[in-house]
Amino acid sequence: MKALIVVDLQKDFVQEDGALYTPGIEKIVPEAVKLIEEFQSEGLPIIVATDYHTPDDEEFKRWPPHCIKGTEGAELIDQVKQVIEGYEKVFVIRKNRYSAMYNTDLEDLIKKHGVDEVHLCGLLSNICVMFTVEELMNRDYHSVVHEKATASNDPEMHRFALRTMEEILGAEVRR
């Protein structure tokens, strides 16, 4: 069975006033929404992985504070909220590290639903998407990254991440 993981489509990353916004990054949103709708139409699980930090998170030594629990920046963008509203097979994972598998119940969800093929979209391709793919591939889950529905804050790193996920990790990259 297939499942979709939607990574970090949150206000702090996608909206212009977001703490880690990159101009133009919102261009992937329509493609991500199309993927969500496609998985919904097939009755498949959709896992929404969200960055979720405490105000004193160690990650803020490397990055500006972002996606702090209880803040607007940690909320999903409206387009994603609207499309998943009322869908019974949506599962939200809150993560405080790059990989959606680190200290979450993502693997339990995957096993519970008999998932063997994981599709991914979201942000950032060279960080949270790639490190989630790395852990999925190490557990032998076929992973499919949707290039038009992923992006990075750095175009060169985006290309590097796609190549790494495909050529090194063995993920399928759909162009």
CATH of the domain at 48: 3.40.50.850
pLDDT tens digits, residue range 47-64? 999 999 999 999 999 999
Nearest to 166, CA basis, from 136, 144, 135, 149: 144
96 lies in a domain?
A: yes
pLDDT of residue 53: 98
Query: DSSP secondary structure string, 45-71?
Result: -EEEEEE-B-TT-GGGGTS---SBTTS
pLDDT of residue 142: 98
15 lies in a domain?
A: yes
Tokens of 26: 């919102």
**Dihedral over Cα of 127, 123, 135, 64: its sign:** positive
Instruction: Return mean pLDDT, the chain.
Output: 98
Provide the 10 A C-beta neighbour count for residue 163: 11
1 lies in a domain?
A: no
Query: Are the beta carbons of 48 and 6 closer than 8 angstroms?
Result: yes
Domain of residue 98, residue span: 6-121+131-174
126 lies in a domain?
A: no
pLDDT of residue 91: 98
pLDDT of residue 97: 96
CA distance linking residue 72 with residue 66, whole number of Å: 10
**Angle, alpha carbons 103-106-109 (nearest 5°):** 140
pLDDT tens digits, residue range 73-126? 999 999 999 999 999 999 999 999 999 999 999 999 999 999 999 999 999 999
**Number of compact structural domains in the chain:** 1
Query: Are the beta carbons of 32 and 73 closer than 8 angstroms?
Result: no
154 lies in a domain?
A: yes
